Structure formats: C-alpha cells, structure tokens
C-alpha cells in the first residue's frame, strides 16, 4: 500500500509540473481580461513557454510558445493594443522567451542523456572491476545489486564478494578500496578468531599486515567500512564488523532483525590508531533464512521529506521466490523512496540458505 502511495505522489507531482505553463497563461489571460487594457499584463504570457522550457521537452515548449502567441493576439485585439504597437512588442517578447525555452529544454535533455549514459557506463565498469558473484555457493544462493550515484557520475567505491575458503564460504560488503586486500591478502577465518580453532600469533600478525596494507591502499581516503561473514557447516553465520551497517536477517517465518555487533570497532585502515578490533559474533542462519549485506547508500537514502529509507520495513519485498527479482524489487523501491538519483552508491548482496534436501 505504501508503494502505491509513493508512486501516486510522484505521478501527481509530474502532472502538476506539466500543467504549470498552461496554468500560468490561463491566470495571466484571466487577470488581463478582468483588469482591462490599461494594466499591461500581456507580456506575462511569456511565463508559459518559460516554465515549459524548465519542465518539458523542446517540442512541448514550441507548442506552448505557439499557444502563447495566439493568446497574445487574442488579448491584444481585445485590449486594442495593436493600434499602439504594444501588442507587437508583447508578441516579440513571447517569441524570444519561447526561443530561449526551446534552447534550454534541448540543453537540459542532452545533459540528462549524458548523465544517464555516464551512470550506465559507471555501473558496467564497476561490475567489470568486481569479480562476478557466484549464483550458488554450497547451500547459499546469491544475488547482487549495485546502483551508482548519478550526482557524482563516477565509478563507486563500494565492494562485494563471495569466496570459498578452507573454513567455509565467506562474503564481504564494504565501502572504498579494500577488495584487493580480501582477494590477495586473505584475512584469517572467522572460525579461528571466534575460538573454534587455535588462535596463533601467525594468525594475528597476518591480520595486522592486512590492516596495514589497507591503510596504504587507501591513499587519501581516511577509512573503509566492511562486514565479513563466514558460513561453515553449522547453521550459523559468523560476522566481523568494521564500523559497517549491521546485516539484515530475514527469517523463514517472516521475522526481521539486524545482526548488530556486540561492540563497535574501528573501520579498516584505522587500526594503526589503536583501539580494540572487532569481536566475532554468531547469528543463527538456517535453511529458509535470508541475509542482506548492504552499504550505507541504502539506509541513508532520503525521501523528499528527509526521512531515511526504512530497510527493515521493506524486507517483505524479499519474499519473491527468485532472488534476483527480489533484490531488484528492493532496489526499485529504494529509487522510488529517493524520488530521484541516489546521492551515494548503493550496493546490496542477498544470500539465501537453501537446504540441499529441499
């Protein structure tokens, strides 16, 4: 129901803007007729093509301009302005504003097309740079969504990956350039850090080297947030959270919860500044459950009223049997909520637990 209301609001707003030029000319014409020939409202008819150039295409602007000229002729004859040549001056004003409106509409549409093209190229380039996520990994089914921010029109810094390790399946979602560290400088397993395997000095030193390598790769960036999840043989997910938004867990029963860490740790790249590292924590993850890892471009997207995107309230969109369609439905809902281009990249990784027996 809320989705329908959102679409209705967007549609209503577009209709109101499209009728604005006509409404402006109607108001000017009515005021001119009521006030009489001595007031001089006639040049204000040019507001019609002026508004049309801002909200419509060039063809519509030209049509509105032609209508405005007809209104000028009618009102000029009604007021007797052509005898004093004031009517011709008003018509010249309308024609000039119409020409300017057409030029503005052409440039605006060209700019919008360029932004759409750059956004498409940025998203394709981002997918090329990121290793494709496997559709299935053991008992898990994966789907990915990446939406680039049009405001910057750039290749974003969000990352995602799903890999197989000797200790289970790992998934990561984060922001900035830590992906190369995950691939080439593998972090220690969550199982080792959680105590199910001996924690050796070599493991901890390896993690420290990973931290330092991230700090070097960030260059001018200050930090990178990330959440790492590992899925072993047991019905659970083990997380390491580096200052990243908490994963969303959707149970088979329909209940929704955020897997909050027991304590907050510094983002990757800030370990050299001191502070305690992240504590591994476990969350039950059984067949039929879903896990959504995402970046803050999702939860920090605002609607025109300034409200953040209510991700937990929209988890019902993930009920779609097909994982890709479910994630696409959530992405479309996010864009509708923002009522326009997102101001930050938004990456989402959906993992579904499917029982082999099922």
pLDDT score, position 10 = 39
Predicted local distance difference test score (pLDDT) of residue 131? 67
pLDDT at 21: 82
Helices marked H in the chain: 2-35, 47-55, 58-79, 86-129, 179-184, 190-193, 201-218, 296-299, 323-338
What are the average pLDDT values for consecutive 10-residue runs of the chain, which has 358 residues? 39 61 80 68 77 80 85 74 67 82 85 69 57 84 84 60 82 68 39 37 40 54 80 88 93 93 80 70 94 94 92 94 94 91 88 71
Query: In the structure encoding, which two tokens stand for residue 219, read together?
Result: 């260059």
Determine whether 147 is exposed, middle or buried from the number of CB atoms within 10 Å of its CB (0-12, 13-18, 19+).
buried
pLDDT in tens, 123-143: 555 555 566 788 888 889 999
Q: 73-93 burial, b if ≥16 CB within 10 A, otherwise e?
A: eebbeebebeeeebbeebbeb
- Beta strand segments in 259-324, E: 281-284, 290-294
Cα–Cα distance between 185 and 337 in angstroms, integer?
Answer: 38
Calculate the CA 267 to chain-centre distance.
23
pLDDT the model gives residue 142: 94
Q: What is the C-alpha separation between 262 and 318, in angstroms, rounded?
A: 26
* pTM, to two decimals: 0.60
CB atoms within 10 A of CB 267: 23
pLDDT of res. 182: 44
Site of tokens 């510094």: 266
The set of residues, in sequence order, having a beta carbon less than 8 Å from that of 109 and lying 6+ positions away, is 57, 58
* pLDDT for the residue 286: 92
Determine the pLDDT at residue 315.
94
How many helices and strands in the chain, by DSSP H and E?
9, 11
End-to-end Cα spacing for the chain: 33
pLDDT for res 75: 76
Q: Could you tell me the residue ranges of all domains in the chain?
A: 2-121, 134-353
Quick one: fold of 134-353? Phosphatase 2c; domain 1 (3.60.40)
Residue 257: name the closest of 291, 294, 308 by CA: 291
Phi, psi of 169 (to 5 degrees): -95, 130
């Amino acid at each position: 129901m809320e989705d329908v209301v959102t679409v209705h609001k967007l549609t209503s707003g577009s209709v109101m803007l499209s009728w604005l030029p006509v409404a402006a000319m109607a108001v000017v014409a009515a005021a001119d007729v009521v006030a009489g020939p001595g007031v001089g409202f006639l040049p204000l008819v040019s507001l019609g093509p002026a508004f049309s150039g801002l909200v419509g295409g060039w063809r519509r602007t030209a049509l509105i301009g032609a209508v405005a000229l007809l209104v000028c002729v009618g009102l000029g004859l009604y007021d007797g302005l052509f005898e004093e040549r004031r009517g011709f001056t008003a018509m010249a004003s309308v024609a000039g504003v119409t020409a300017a409106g057409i030029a503005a509409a052409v440039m605006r549409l060209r700019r919008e097309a360029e932004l759409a093209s750059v956004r498409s190229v940025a998203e394709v380039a981002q997918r090329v740079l990121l290793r494709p996520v496997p559709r299935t990994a053991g008992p898990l089914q994966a789907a990915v969504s990446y939406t680039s921010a049009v405001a910057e029109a750039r290749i974003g810094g969000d990352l995602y990956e799903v890999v197989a390790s000797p200790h289970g399946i790992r998934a990561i979602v984060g922001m900035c350039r830590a992906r190369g560290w995950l691939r080439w400088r593998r972090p220690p397993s969550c199982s080792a850090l959680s105590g199910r395997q001996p924690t050796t000095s070599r493991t901890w030193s390896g993690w420290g080297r990973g931290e330092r390598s991230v700090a070097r790769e960030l260059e001018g960036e200050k930090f990178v947030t990330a959440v790492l999840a590992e899925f072993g043989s047991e019905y659970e997910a083990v997380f390491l959270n580096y200052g990243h938004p908490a994963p969303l867990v959707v149970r088979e029963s329909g209940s929704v919860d955020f897997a909050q860490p027991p304590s907050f740790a510094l983002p990757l790249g800030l370990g050299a500044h001191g502070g305690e590292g992240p504590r591994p924590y476990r969350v039950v993850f059984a067949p039929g459950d879903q896990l959504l890892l995402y970046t803050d471009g999702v939860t920090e997207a605002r609607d025109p009223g300034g409200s953040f995107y209510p991700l937990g309230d929209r988890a019902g969109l993930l009920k779609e049997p097909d994982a890709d369609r479910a994630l696409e439905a959530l992405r479309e809902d996010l864009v509708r909520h923002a009522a326009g281009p997102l101001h930050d990249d938004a990456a989402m990784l959906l993992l579904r637990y499917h029982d082999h027996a099922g």
